[in-house]
A and B are shown apart, each in its own frame.
Chain A
Amino acid sequence: MDETKLRELQERALAVRRDIVEMIALAGSGHPGGSLSGVEIACALYFHAMRIRPAEPDWPERDRFVLSKGHAAPLLYAVLAQAGYFPREELKGLRRIDRMLQGHPDAKGTPGVEVSTGSLGQGIAVANGIALAGKLDGRDYRVYVLVGDGELQEGLVWEAAMAAAHYRLDNVTVFVDYNGFQIDGRIQDVMNPDPVPDKWRAFGWHVLEIDGHDFPQILSAIDTARSVQGKPTAVIARTVKGKGISFMENQVGWHGVAPKPDELERALVELAGWQPA
């Protein structure tokens, strides 16, 4: 891919990471680990792949993004603010009374948030409904979903997986944020969902496996998914929970706690000097 574009996306990702840790630190609570692991995927979608009009969030032809793992709301909010759906100032109101940005995404109150999530397992099924409507209306918008790897333990994920293949929803692309952790520990120790790619394949999906922090791989997966006909695509993206902040990476304890002021400072210093691999 073109160097300038790559650099632009990497800079976006850096800024999004900064916003994530800052807004969670300011809120005093939230989920940094799973927000940071999905940064490149969300940036690739919002700043490159998706057809969107941030000034016209209800534009009927827009591509949709469903954050099924709703606890990664800070990731979504950072990206939406940078894309221009609402002022970045709003990020400071995260999780505060009378403010727009709820602890988990609230579609009716937040421009750019397509689906209210927070209860894990529901996003793919809702995305399927949006995708079915798109097919009925002859619209060619695409629906992207980000799910957690722990979230795959929810039965509804597989009900929806079966349905998307059954209805040949090739306008649906699911990214599995395969960071290996959930709240109680490693996913393999809590309730092993492996082999994840085989499961999606068995449910009738086109399956891709990528490094979820590598922009060229993400963009190429999106392109492939666009060209697949008659089947939805699952992109199993290997990621690092807490990615970009050394003391958060692969630390299960950073699933759902806010950095304290000194930790925030260390995180920002690290990000300032961060060179993506």
Chain B
Amino acid sequence: MMSKMATRDAYGQTLVRLGEREPRVVVLDADLAKSTKTIDFAKSFPQRFFDMGIAEQNLICTAAGLALAGKIPFASTFAVFATGRAFEQIRNSVAYPRANVKIAATHAGLTVGEDGASHQSVEDIAIMRSLPGMTVLVPADARETELMVEAAAAHKGPVYIRLGRSGVPQLFDMEYQFAMGKSPVLREGDDAAIFACGIMVAEALTAARQLAEAGLEVTVVNVSSIKPMDEKTIIEAARQAGAVVTAEEHSVVGGLGSAVAELLARHYPVPVEMVGVQDTFGESGSPSDLLQKYGLTAHHIARGVERVVLRKKTISGNR
């Protein structure tokens, strides 16, 4: 059993290290510092931490002002509130003026668990990636989170980082590299390509192992940089395999699956199956029960691969 760590915990720890190295980093929260883990930074650098209270629009606009005056603000709250309540502030005060604000939102996806649908953001990727100039990142594990937070701080411009509440397996070691606009290929095979992000990367790798036992070889790509997207890698993998499965802990409307489908429709159309939340809200339950019920497991990805491989064969049979 691989050891587990939540991406929000990795975020909290990285912020502290970043704070030591980079005096321009400031952190804002909206009364959720204990949950988003910005509390670690708040304790280490009280002067550079601002709790804005339960006021998410205020959180975003104040961060914008700090950025305009040369700071590197990280603004955190739950993904539902960051991208929902404060959407228009993000659009007009951050994205449009290209303010150097990093929105690191936690509690994304169904793995929020028992708090239920009001707190389970399954649309934030769709919302954020619709904004011109917004970088959208989804780490697959703690190590990638660390690299991502550092890359976000070094990048000039708005960044959205999507973080989770629950522990995820540690997939990557110290050799692992992250770069915006790059999607590492974690495994290669010619039968199908799986494009996954976040917690679904680990599920995709498990699915790939299971499929290999059954004689299907699949490529697994970690699309942690949803925007900018590594178009070259994704098109090439789709071309090699001729069949694609996308996997995300997010609605299939507007998320990773949509982004991949948009790209492939323009450049290299192949059959695509989308594993994700099927245009519905979540509910209360344990994270693992929810992932099971809403079809977000290695098993569901493997079935998706089988379906898409069949579709590929039917298409080539018809040619």
Binding site for B on A (CB under 8 A): 60, 106-108, 114-119, 121-122, 125-134, 136-137, 155-156, 159-160, 162-163, 166-167
Contact = CB atoms under 8 A, between A and B. Distances in A.
B47 interface: yes
Given A126-B65, A129-B64, A159 B92 contact: no
A125 B68 contact: no
Contacts of B48: 136
Given A130-B68, A136-B47, A163-B53, A125 B58 contact: yes
B57 A126 contact: no
Contact of B65 (A108, A118, A130): A130
Contacts of A156: 55, 57-58, 61, 89
Contacts of A126: 61-62, 64-65, 68, 93
B318 to A, nearest CB: 49
B97 A130 contact: no
A108 B68 contact: no
A115 B97 contact: yes
- Chief secondary structure at chain B's binding surface: helix
Contacts of A129: 61-69, 73
19 contacts: A114-B68, A115-B68, A116-B93, A116-B97, A118-B92, A126-B64, A127-B65, A128-B62, A129-B68, A130-B66, A130-B69, A132-B50, A132-B62, A133-B71, A137-B70, A159-B53, A159-B57, A162-B55, A163-B52
Contacts of B65: 115, 125-133
A136 B67 CA distance: 13
A133 B93 contact: no
- Residue with the highest number of chain A CB atoms closer than 10 Å, among B26, B50, B64, B93: B93
B172 interface: no
Q: Size class of B's contact patch? A: 20 to 34
Given A108-B97, A125-B61, A160-B62, 7 more contacts: A122-B61, A125-B57, A128-B65, A129-B65, A130-B65, A130-B66, A133-B70
B110 to A, nearest CB: 30
Which of A108, A114, A155, A163 has the most C-beta atoms of chain B within 10 angstroms of its own C-beta? A163
Nearest to A105: B97
A122 B55 contact: no
Contacts of B26: 132-133, 136
Interface string B56-94: 011011111111111101000000000000001100110
B71 A116 contact: no
Nearest to A128: B62
Contacts of B50: 132, 167
A238 to B, nearest CB: 27
B96 interface: yes
B102 interface: no
Contacts of B97: 106-108, 115-116
Nearest to B58: A159
B98 interface: yes
Most central of A106, A117, A128 by chain B CB within 10 Å = A128
Contacts of B64: 115, 125-126, 129
Nearest to B56: A159
A137 B71 CA distance: 10
Contact of A159 (B55, B70, B71): B55
In the A-B complex, list the 6 residue pairs whose CB atoms are closest, starting with the nearest.
A129-B65, A125-B61, A133-B69, A159-B58, A159-B55, A126-B65
B103 to A, nearest CB: 14
Contacts of B47: 136
Contacts of A159: 52-53, 55, 57-58
Contacts of B73: 129
A116 B92 contact: yes
Nearest to A116: B97
Interface in B19-73: 26, 47-48, 50, 52-53, 55, 57-58, 60-71, 73
Nearest to A108: B97
B57 A108 contact: no
Contacts of A163: 52-53, 55, 58, 62
Interface in B249-271: none
Contacts of A121: 57
Nearest to B52: A163
Nearest to B54: A159
B72 to A, nearest CB: 11
Contacts of A108: 97-98
A108 B92 CA distance: 12
A60 B68 CA distance: 11
Contacts of B93: 115-116, 119, 122, 125-126
A106 B92 CA distance: 10
A226 to B, nearest CB: 19
Nearest to B71: A133
B92 A132 contact: no
